[in-house]
């Protein structure tokens, strides 16, 4: 039989809030790392797009998104991390949102309609029992995006999109629209 002294019980009571705080720090640490991975994907993709467009025009940008974006995401997807992009209207069907991502994207749209800043729209979901952490950060439509995702596309860009993505849904956006989101998952033990 284990006997606990008053001191042991008191120490346990004092450590319980620290354990809770440690779990919160763990979530905060996950969010910081996930945000960093999302930003790295976005920054690297944008750099590659700009270089491709400069070297060979906008149709080259379509090829970069098709080939280079998944390679960048794969490089970042190690040690239990999965990094990618998703949207409500996808160009690549492999990026289609799952149910959690879809509800998060819809919440982001609603937040923007209510006047929230894009930086306030990041979403975190923690399933402690499964050891699974999820994070999403919005991708806003900017000037470079409009060349391939806007309402009015140049004919060579349309041709490149139709050739690479015959079932494309991802056009018709305006500057400042929610284009999609970076999605990051961490599964403990993988």
Tell me if the pTM is above 0.85: no
Retrieve residue 162's tokens.
């139709």
The per-residue pLDDT for range 12-31, each reduced to its tens digit, is: 443 333 333 333 447 888 99
Which parts of the chain have pLDDT scores under 50? 1-25
pLDDT at residue 16 in the model: 37
pLDDT at residue 127 in the model: 87
pLDDT at residue 130 in the model: 84
The per-residue pLDDT for range 40-59, each reduced to its tens digit, is: 999 999 999 999 999 999 99
* Residue linked to tokens 């354990």: 19
Retrieve residue 54's tokens.
């400069």
pLDDT at residue 82 in the model: 97
Radius of gyration of the chain (CA): 21
What are the Cα distances from residue 81, in Å, to 54, 96, 121, 130, 189? 32, 18, 21, 14, 10
pLDDT at residue 186 in the model: 94
Starting from the edge strand earliest in sequence, which strands make up the sheet with 81-86, in order? 81-86, 178-187, 132-140, 123-127
| 113: β partners | none
pLDDT at residue 64 in the model: 87
């Amino acid at each position: 039989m284990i006997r606990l002294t008053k001191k042991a019980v008191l120490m346990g009571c004092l450590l319980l809030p620290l354990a809770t705080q440690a779990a919160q720090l763990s979530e905060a640490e996950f969010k910081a790392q996930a945000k960093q991975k999302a930003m790295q994907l976005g920054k690297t993709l944008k750099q590659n797009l700009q270089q491709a467009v400069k070297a060979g025009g906008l149709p080259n940008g379509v090829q970069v998104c098709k080939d280079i974006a998944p390679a960048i995401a794969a490089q970042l997807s190690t040690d239990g991390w999965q990094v990618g992009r998703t949207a409500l209207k996808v160009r690549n069907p492999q990026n289609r949102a799952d149910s959690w991502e879809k509800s998060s994207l819809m919440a982001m749209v609603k937040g923007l309609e209510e006047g929230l800043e894009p930086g306030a729209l990041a979403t975190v979901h923690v399933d402690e029992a499964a050891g699974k952490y999820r994070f999403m950060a919005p991708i806003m439509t900017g000037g470079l995006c409009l060349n391939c995702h806007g309402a009015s596309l140049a004919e060579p860009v349309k041709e490149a999109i139709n050739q690479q993505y015959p079932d494309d849904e991802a056009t018709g956006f305006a500057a400042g629209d929610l284009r999609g989101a970076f999605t990051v998952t961490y599964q403990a033990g993988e």
